[in-house]
Amino acid sequence: MKVAIIGAGAWGTALAIQAVRAGTEAVLWARDAGRAAEMRERRENAPHLPGQPLPPALRITADAGEALAGAALALLVVPVQHMAGVLADLPALPPSLVAAKGVERGTLRLPLEILAMLRPGLPAGVLSGPNFAREVAAGLPAAAVVASTDARLREDAARRLGTASFRLYGQEDPMGVEVGGAAKNVIAIAAGAVMGAGFGENARAALVTRGLAEIARLAAALGGRAGTVAGLSGLGDLLLTCTGPGSRNFSLGVALGQGQPLADILAARNSVTEGVATAPALLARAAAAGVEMPITAAVAAVLEGSVDVAGAMDRLLARPRRRES
């Protein structure tokens, strides 16, 4: 029943706590040995989940071989931009779920595509949904989706991780789920920028709705199902990330809308705001697929500094009128 959680950020730690809550033997791997030792001693991940105690049954190690030995399932919870590097250093993996959201710069690969490139033939899927790590760690009610074409993997993951407070749904469209998880971070930056600039709730609602349409177009173009984005990994995640003050992407957008420089915002953070790297990569992936994503393009332009938030909004409002679709 052992599960190895690869990555000791906030979400990896929360999933490790959840696995123990579900009655599963869990080992949490941290890349830094000093950090692993501190977490073992303090029974807390102070930088990422301060105040949340780690259960006594949770093992913590910086030895990947120890973490993965005998594991029936691995959860890959490392930032997408570092995933290839981490995978290159890991020993053999059991069936794995990716619990990270984004698009790799340069290659434009989604997480499961990175995994398939480096570990071909490995049974794999994606765990995604509207989940703040702190709430899952605390055992508050939440739901997520496990998407894989491997039915056995879906069922195994639900059995090892699901509880009454963490409801897991299975489905067969990992591409649609990954696109939803990646793109929602970009739309959340836009939603935060709208609020930070004082453009109001109407503007945010319109932007999130049209953002959902962008995500559906891209999911379908990449071989997923447009309808998937109406589920937990699309609409659900958008609702949380575009409204919750605990969202790193939304709060970054708010700061941008208030006129703060991007470099200053990022320098003050100790965790990754995935939408920053994802926006230009997602836009390039969409362009290669022939999909227009004007909101994503606006976010990418703001992040690169070629336009400010007000100018980006003017561009969106100046687009030709069209039928809603």
Tokens found for residue 157 = 């993951």
Look at the block and give the residue holding tokens 């679709």: 325
Given a contact cutoff of 8 angstroms between Cβ atoms, the answer to whether 319 and 313 are in contact is no
Secondary structure letter of residue 197 according to DSSP: T
**DSSP assigned state of 43:** T
Question: How far apart are alpha carbons 325 and 322 in whole angstroms?
Answer: 9
Cα–Cα–Cα angle for 80, 236, 73, nearest 5°?
A: 45
List the structure tokens of 62: 């910086």
* Contact criterion met (CB below 8 Å) for 262 and 276: yes
Any catalytic annotation for residue 184?
yes
| Active-site hit among 48, 59, 134, 184 | 184
Q: Which residues contact 288 (CB under 8 A, 6 or more apart)?
A: 108
Beta strands in 71-151 (DSSP E): 73-76, 96-98, 124-128, 142-147
CA dist 53 to 134, 137, 143, 276, 321, Å?
A: 11, 9, 22, 30, 53
In sequence order, the 6+-apart residues with CB closer than 8 A to the CB of 311 are: none
Instruction: Name the residue with tokens 């890991």.
Output: 90
Q: Is 61 helix (H, G, I), strand (E, B) or coil?
A: strand
Could you give the CA distance from residue 185 to residue 238 in angstroms, rounded to a whole number? Answer: 8
Active site residues: 184
